[in-house]
Chain A
Amino acid sequence: MNGSPPSPAEPSPHSPLRIGNGAGFWGDQIDAPVLLAQAGELDALTLEYLAELTLGILGHLRHRDPAAGFVTDFPPLLRRLVALDQAHPDRPPLRIVTNAGGLNPPSLARLSAQTLVESNRGDDLVAVVTGDDVRDHLTSWRADGLTLAHLETGQPMPEELLGRLAVANVYLGSQPIAQAWSQGAILILTGRVADASLTVGPARAHFGWRADDWDRLAGASAAGHLIECGAQATGGLWHAWDDPSLDLWNVGYPIAELTEDGSAVITKPPGSGGLVTPANLAEQLVYEIDDPSAYVTPDVIADFAATRLEIDPTGPDRVRVTGTRGAPAPTMLKLACVARDGWTSSGLLAYVGPRAAAKARHAGEIVRRRLQRANALPQGFLVEVLGDLDIQPGVLSHPPGFEPWEVVLRITARDPDRAKVERFTREIAPLVLTGPPGVAGYASGRPDVKPAFAYWPSLVPCNLVTPRLDLRPARDWLA
């Protein structure tokens, strides 16, 4: 991190490619992509919405409505981004690459095309990447001898799980995105693709990298991985969160300036809050990864142990990302299956005063015994006392003599039988009349019952999976 001075950039026949990421998950700030597009001078805006279980939730939505299954935050966002283009006729239109398509990219393409056509942009090319949804293939693959063994435990996929699968999606790579970029797509909508591939796709097309330019693909993958979680690269979660100059309320979202040699500079829009430093990016480089010397994507196996993060002295909040090495792409692709796994619900109540934590635990026990009496105790039943060190239970202790005078009781139930979970939701509010004193917070009513999911990651051979690209002018998506 510190040490050798940054080396001068390799001369390049191409200009750098500026890619900003305006969403780190479905639920991130809705204004962030607009602010980033406004001030970022971007060649591409990426939006990453799909956490491991997000597709399970989308599967639930699609089950209720076959036209659903995409990220519903995206259509209103696109209208704002198109309006931004209209306000800046001097700039080229913003190009967007996003996995907002979720389980239904064509449905999102039709909605998005409508927005473009209404803005007299019916000629804009809209690309849809599919082929990641392999749920219909699993039965025949298993018949052909594929065990779909669990990536962590090695256990073969049980037959009964196959029957409960809500979704089964392979992580696709950057190739179809690159193809769409080369052909001039303004909007590239995908389902499940590797997060880093949203960045790698435009980069390999822009610079004309070969599919076996392993070091360059690895460098772009490092940049893509660094920005995929949005503001976590620019000051979110930083330990000096209360530094008065950090201004996290106005945190700028990250921009990767990619260069032809595969290196990148990570930065953020001028005037925004947050910070970009080697130390902060080092946290993000190892975020949610396994062996750093083998970060596996469909495009390349990247070696982050070789990656250097150094301050780029040409401006504030600029960090150079160099040295990442790449090994040939894997022969297997990751398959993420999500199965329906019963129902769940969580109820919250606050307890105050001396012995608040003891009161909350006693209240949890009251609920458990009432459910037992009704022969309706859910299979999963957990009492947590937030404020009494239950988030990682047993690891930490309060300082000697300290006792919290205000805690939150959280009771969570889970059961295959929805009726049992419904029954559970009716036992929270009665505590305000029938349990320990000093209780508050029942005004929000009974908690919601939500579907629960089981996650089953696995691997499938690349040659079983066929990514497909459908590229048409916006007006043709409406036809």
Chain B
Amino acid sequence: MSPPRHTPPRVLRDLAHARSGDKGNRANVGVLAFDAEGYELLRAHLTPEALASFLKPLGIGEVRRYDLPHLHGFNFVIESGLSGGAGGSLRLDTQGKALAETVLNLPWPPPESARSHS
């Protein structure tokens, strides 16, 4: 079965599931909360800045967030998220398929949002 969820949440994985992919050199990560309560937490704390800060080692560009309240989720679009994308990158995961699994390990609450909300 899927890993146990921590209460209170310790990582994003405790609140949400996710899927990622590519469009050219942009990556996208869909992050879907398990429930309405989780969605509100994510809405407050999973800011584009929080995700950008977590993924900064990848040398990404701007991160945009689109809210999907009907689905209790978000679509994050990450500019230059793939070091050149399927054509240009030398990396194994040129298409960002594994990115969502990495994003779910974002510590909760995100340090970036803790700073901006304290």
Contacts and interface: CB of A to CB of B under 8 A. Distances in A.
A239 B70 CA distance: 21
Contacts of B57: 392-395
Given A287-B19, A288-B23, A292-B66, A391 B93 contact: yes
A202 interface: no
B90 A152 contact: no
A380 B32 contact: no
A290 interface: yes
A261 interface: no
Interface in A390-407: 390-396
B92 interface: yes
Contact of B19 (A237, A306, A341): A237
A287 B25 CA distance: 15
Contacts of B68: 282, 286, 292, 304-305
Contacts of B85: 455
Given A392-B99, A392-B102, A455-B87, A287 B70 contact: no
B116 interface: no
Interface string B14-41: 0001110111111010101010100000
B87 A392 contact: no
Contact of B2 (A152, A240, A292): A240
A381 B91 CA distance: 10
A455 B86 contact: yes
Interface in A264-305: 278-279, 282-293, 304-305
Contact of B71 (A282, A453, A455): A282
B1 A243 contact: yes
Interface in B32-89: 32, 34, 36, 54-55, 57-58, 66-68, 70-73, 75, 77, 79, 85-88
B114 interface: no
A152 B87 contact: no
A454 B30 CA distance: 26
Contacts of A384: 91-92
B66 A288 contact: no
Contacts of A454: 87-88
Contact of B90 (A51, A279, A282, A412): A412
A390 B93 CA distance: 10
A239 B20 CA distance: 13
A152 B26 CA distance: 8
Contact of B17 (A2, A279, A289, A308): A279
A415 to B, nearest CB: 11
A396 B28 contact: no
Interface of B: 1-2, 17-19, 21-26, 28, 30, 32, 34, 36, 54-55, 57-58, 66-68, 70-73, 75, 77, 79, 85-88, 90-93, 98-99, 102, 105
6 contacts: A52-B23, A52-B87, A283-B19, A283-B32, A290-B23, A305-B67
Interface of A: 1-2, 51-53, 56, 151-152, 232, 237, 239-243, 278-279, 282-293, 304-309, 323, 338, 341, 344, 380-382, 384, 386, 390-396, 410, 412-414, 452-455, 457
